[in-house]
Every structure is written in C-alpha cells, then in structure tokens.
Amino acid sequence: MSDTSIDTRSGALGAVLDGPQVSDYWELLKPRVMSLVVFTGFAGLFVAPGQLNPVLAAIAVLCIAVGSGAAGAINMWFDRDIDAVMARTSGRPIPAGRVEPGEALSFGVVLAGGSVVVMGLGVNWAAAALLALAILFYVFVYTMWLKRRTPQNIVIGGAAGAFPPMIGWAAVTGDVSVASVVLFLLIFFWTPPHFWALALFRSGDYAKAGVPMLPVVAGAAATRRQMLIYTLILLPLSLAPFALGIAGGWYAAGALGLSSLFILSALRVLGSDDDRPAKQMFGFSILYLFALFALLIVDRAG
C-alpha cells in the first residue's frame, strides 16, 4: 500500500472523527425545552377523559418530543447568525461550526414531517394537525416573522409552546375542548414573564444581536410591570381546571400557593433594579409550570 493511500485514508478517518457527534444533533433538539414540552404534553394526555392504549400513548408523547425537537433544530438553523453573537447561544452546534446549517435544516424538516405522519397514522389526525400547527407556528410565525420584528415576539410566538397539552388531550379524545384550551392558556400566559425574566438579565445580549425583546425596546421598568400583570392573570387561570371539574381541591390549593409565589416573585423584580430577583424568578418560573402540571397529574391519579 502506498503512502498516498495511507494519507488519504487517514485524512478521511480524521474528517469522520472531526464531524458532528450524536451529542451535537441532540443539542439541536433543545433538550431542556423539550423536557418541559414533553411533560406538559403528557399531562394533557393523562388528564383527558377517556382511555388510550399505553403503546399509543407512548407514541403520542414521542411524537410531541420529536416535533418539538424538530422545531428547535429549524429555529437554530434560521437563527444561526444571531446565535453567533450572543454569549448564551454562541456555543450551539451551528455557530460553533460543529454542524453545517444545511444538515441542521434537513434534520429538523425530516423529524418534523416524520413526527406528524406517525402521530396521524398511529394515534389520530386531530392530534397530528395540532402538532403540525405547533411546529409551523414556532418556525414561521415566531422564528421567521415575529422574533426580529416586534417586542411582542414572545407574547404571540409563545403560543407554539402552549400546544403540547392540547395535543396530548386530542390524542385521547380526538378533539379540542374548553378544558384543553385552558391548559393551552396556562402556558401561553406563563411564557411572557418566564422569558422576560431571562431577557432582563440578558438584555445586553439581545441588544447586541438586534432582537427587540421588551427590555431592549421598552426598558426594564416597563418589562417588570408587564411581568406582574401576566402573573396576576395566571392566578385565576391556574384555578380554572378546578372550576371546570378536571382537577380537585388538592390541585386548587397547590395552584393557589404556586401562583401566589409567582406574583411575589414578580413584585420582588418590580421593586429591584438588580438582576438577582429576575434570575430567581426565571428559575422559579420553570418550577412553577412543572409543579402546576404535576399537580394535575397527581390529582387525576388520585
């Protein structure tokens, strides 16, 4: 064997070893976001009236997870320019050069299409339609249209992340009901204070990237007031599942306590110019949503 052949094979092997790793494609799926999406989707499925075969339930939850990840990958493809200039996102696979943009886009599109088709064929087409709507809304309405154009980006665009419990509900019932819309609204009104808490202590990053998040455009004081308004709306909304009869007294008590703490967090942010209360509120907001939907599951299981 010639030295040239050895060098060629060594170069090819080096290219393979230097290529994207499984962990890079996993990161494209935004696994931390996916975990919340999967959990709320499962909660919608679990509390919905009726029964679903465990295998079909697992397929439904998997499709929700894959659809969410697919939307995240397409989002990273489109936002690769602003991700590169933001400290929080510069290490993502595309701006870091570990995954080619075209590969990320193809990966996301294939997963998106596959998740919708499998949901339709394996579960029902109502759930598949909602899953497709969530993906399309996140990609085209939020990522491509709103995010770089208006400070209301996360208010309107946040609807995409609110679909999972509706999808889970539709997987069982084959339809959309008032109760599933309430679950949607819980996440819809939770999203702005959650992301604005992050934007308060990352406003410099967003300003550098040219993303018109509310703190960048309207200022920190206006953002803090808006955050409080949304947490106040969440208080009665979090009690709606009890009022509609899909949750009992234990859920209502827990929801009242959690929502009160969320309001207190917003008041602390409102009364401070420091970043610490905003960071604490951002962390609590994740716990709040997880705990609220966990209460729904525990209440239904009991």
Could you state, in order of their start, the residue ranges of all structural domains in the chain?
20-176, 177-302
3 state SS of 97: coil
- Single pTM value for the model: 0.91
Looking at the chain, how many residues does it have?
Answer: 302
Tell me which CATH code domain 20-176 carries.
Answer: 1.10.357.140
Q: What is the pLDDT along the chain (302 residues), one digit of tens a residue?
A: 444 444 434 433 343 446 789 999 999 999 999 999 999 999 999 999 999 999 999 999 999 999 999 999 999 999 999 999 999 899 999 999 999 999 999 999 999 999 999 999 999 999 999 999 999 999 999 999 999 999 999 999 889 999 999 999 999 999 999 999 999 999 999 999 999 999 999 998 899 889 999 999 999 999 999 999 999 999 999 999 999 999 999 999 999 999 999 999 999 999 998 899 999 999 999 999 999 999 999 999 97
| Helix locations, 178-248, DSSP H | 178-201, 203-209, 214-217, 220-238, 240-243
The Cβ of residue 175 has, within 10 Å, a number of other Cβ atoms equal to 12
Angle between helices 276-301 and 178-201 (to 10 degrees): 160
User: Dihedral through CA 53, CA 249, CA 268, CA 216, nearest 10?
Assistant: 40
